[in-house]
């Protein structure tokens, strides 16, 4: 059966699917990028062999810049032998904080995959770990896949079925006091998601959606991101399965709040340094700190090259429904009317309210309605 475009649009609006659920809150454009961050210069909290410098020092030494292409460069000192606290680098923390957000980052290059390095693009709240941490991009040494992790106080676990996301789960317990702070961690098996593989194919796009019900992370290689990912009206419920999903055994709002966005590139420390005894030690010998100190040229490729970074916030009646916990009832009504109007048969059995999957139910209904041809 075929329906007019007008009828489909009206149906989507009736079911709450056509409104602008996300609108742009902050655009970290190249013209104002560094003004939207604080340059953290305190000692590295992870014990890294790194000297975080201020904005003036970073600019004067060529560690940060805006390229003629409009891309933002964030690098490290790759010229001088390190001394004192360690190799010069930068740690950027956003001036704005976020509770619930859709964060979309497009990169042409990332600093991962080099022995001694520990780069990350992540978010965290005050009084860590009371307000949680979300690691969107992270890895150490010569890793070739991305790690995505949640870190919290006790009582938060990722218990949703593995079939709901594409990554390989390493640990489901987000508690920082368990498993040496491994967190609820998932690795993306796609070698294009991190380091050398990511850079070789021209970069890619990461998106993190954080709502009352779940936190999920998506990854697409360069050229493969959905067309709406950077639009004025992104629709993450149409993006398929995420690489990482934190949902089920966690009260998200009790464990995550008021996060800053962070870019950093530290060296060695409690993870990269502890993991040095593998292939990096076999290749270079000695200690992680000694290698980082004495081999500046090894880190010429240790930089972020940012195409764009945008943060979207929930708006309108959708946000009110989520905040009040009324979304599921609204979805049920939409499904009933869609069944009568368009032959909708409901979501697959593995997408149920009992499993706490409002986003997947919403996505399934939206895809069905959008699939009706004009």
On whether the CB atoms of residues 128 and 256 are closer than 8 A, the answer is no
Decide if 294 is catalytic: no
Candidates 138, 235, 331, 335; catalytic one: 138
> How confident is the model at residue 364, as a pLDDT?
53
> How confident is the model at residue 315, as a pLDDT?
78
Strand partners, 22: 314
> How confident is the model at residue 221, as a pLDDT?
98
Decide if 138 is catalytic: yes
Burial 219-243 (b: 16+ CB within 10 A, else e): bbbbeebbeebbeeebbbbebeebb
Candidates 93, 133, 294, 339; catalytic one: 133
On whether the CB atoms of residues 184 and 156 are closer than 8 A, the answer is yes
| Rounded Cα–Cα distance for residues 374 and 357 (Å) | 30
* Nearest CA among 23, 21, 46, 31 for reference residue 262: 46
Query: Burial level of 203, CB count in 10 A (0-12/13-18/19+)?
Result: buried
Integer angstrom CA distances of residue 81 from 50, 96, 273, 294, 295: 12, 35, 18, 5, 7
Question: Nearest 5°: CA angle at 56, between 126 and 308?
Answer: 65
| Rounded Cα–Cα distance for residues 247 and 244 (Å) | 10
| Rounded Cα–Cα distance for residues 256 and 149 (Å) | 13
Extract the residue ranges of the chain whose pLDDT is less than 70.
1-20, 316-374
| Rounded Cα–Cα distance for residues 68 and 49 (Å) | 32
């Amino acid at each position: 059966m075929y329906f007019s475009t007008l009828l489909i649009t009206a149906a989507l609006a009736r079911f709450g699917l056509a409104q602008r659920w996300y609108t742009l809150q902050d655009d970290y454009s190249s013209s104002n990028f560094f003004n939207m961050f604080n340059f953290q210069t305190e000692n590295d909290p992870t014990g890294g062999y790194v000297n975080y410098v201020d904005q003036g020092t970073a600019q004067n030494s060529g560690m940060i810049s805006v390229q003629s292409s409009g891309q933002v460069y964030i690098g490290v000192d790759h010229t001088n032998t390190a001394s004192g606290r360690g190799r010069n680098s930068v740690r950027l923390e956003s001036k704005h904080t976020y509770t619930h957000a859709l964060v979309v980052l497009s990169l042409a290059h990332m600093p991962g995959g080099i022995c001694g390095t520990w780069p990350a693009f992540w978010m965290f709240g005050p009084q860590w770990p009371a307000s949680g941490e979300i690691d969107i991009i992270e890895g150490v040494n010569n890793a070739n896949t991305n790690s995505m992790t949640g870190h919290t106080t006790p009582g938060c676990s990722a218990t949703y079925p593995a079939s709901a996301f594409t990554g390989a789960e390493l640990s489901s317990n987000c508690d920082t006091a368990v498993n040496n702070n491994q967190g609820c961690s998932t690795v993306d098996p796609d070698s294009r998601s991190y380091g050398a593989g990511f850079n070789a194919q021209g970069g890619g796009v990461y998106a993190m959606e954080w709502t009352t019900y779940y936190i999920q992370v998506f990854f697409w290689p360069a050229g493969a991101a959905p067309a709406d990912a950077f639009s004025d009206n992104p629709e993450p419920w149409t993006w398929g399965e995420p690489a990482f999903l934190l949902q089920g055994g966690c009260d998200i709002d009790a464990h995550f709040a008021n996060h800053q966005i962070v870019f950093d590139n530290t060296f060695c420390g409690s993870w990269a340094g502890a993991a040095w005894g593998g292939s990096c030690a076999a290749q270079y010998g000695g200690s992680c700190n000694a290698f980082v100190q004495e081999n500046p040229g090894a880190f010429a490729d240790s930089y972020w090259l940012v195409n764009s970074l945008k943060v979207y916030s929930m708006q309108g009646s959708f946000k009110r429904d989520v905040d009040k916990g009324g979304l599921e009832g609204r979805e049920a009504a939409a499904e009933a009317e869609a069944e009568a109007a368009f032959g909708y048969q409901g979501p697959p059995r593995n997408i149920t309210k009992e499993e706490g999957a409002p986003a997947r139910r919403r996505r399934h209904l939206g895809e069905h309605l959008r699939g009706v041809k004009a």
